[in-house]
Structure 1
């Protein structure tokens, strides 16, 4: 069994460098979600959002989804009223 050093980069910019027996890193960071840069042009903030945008730009996508859900609920409610 080989001995490895954890390659995970901390928020401070330093490498974790803990000793471990797994090539992917130590038990703390091995299963942590991957942070990707924001999709918005000119923004390089790292995030874990399901939209791929940082908090500043993800808001419009969350609002759009919320609007669509309300619209579908209203359509379903109007459809059930017409059935009676």
Structure 2
């Protein structure tokens, strides 16, 4: 059985390097999502937007706006259907 070294990188740049049996990482980090650098500042992040919390605000706002717009559209369609049968 081979030993591996955990390659998980902490947010401050340190590498875990604990000895482990899994290629994916040690018993603490083997299920962690991989972090990619922020598109603006390069800080490691696991955000689905690819930006750190400091820079992801505009993407959160746009997603929330689109979600609310879709809900309003569905609500208007439902009210038209109800008015049609009343």
Tell me the TM-score range normalised by the shorter chain: 0.7 to 0.9
Moved over 4 A (4+): none
Calculate the TM-score normalised by the size of structure 1: 0.80
Length, aligned pairs only: 82
Query: 69-78 vs 19-28, which deviates more?
Result: 19-28
Identify unmatched segments of 5+ residues in structure 1.
none
Q: Distance in 2 between matches of 1:3 and 1:18?
A: 10
- What corresponds to 1:29 in structure 2? 29
Calculate the TM-score normalised by the size of structure 2: 0.78
Computed over aligned residues only, the root mean square deviation of the Cα atoms, in angstroms, reads 1.7
* Per-residue CA distance 1:30-61 (angstroms, 9 max, x = gap): 22111111112xx1111110000111121111
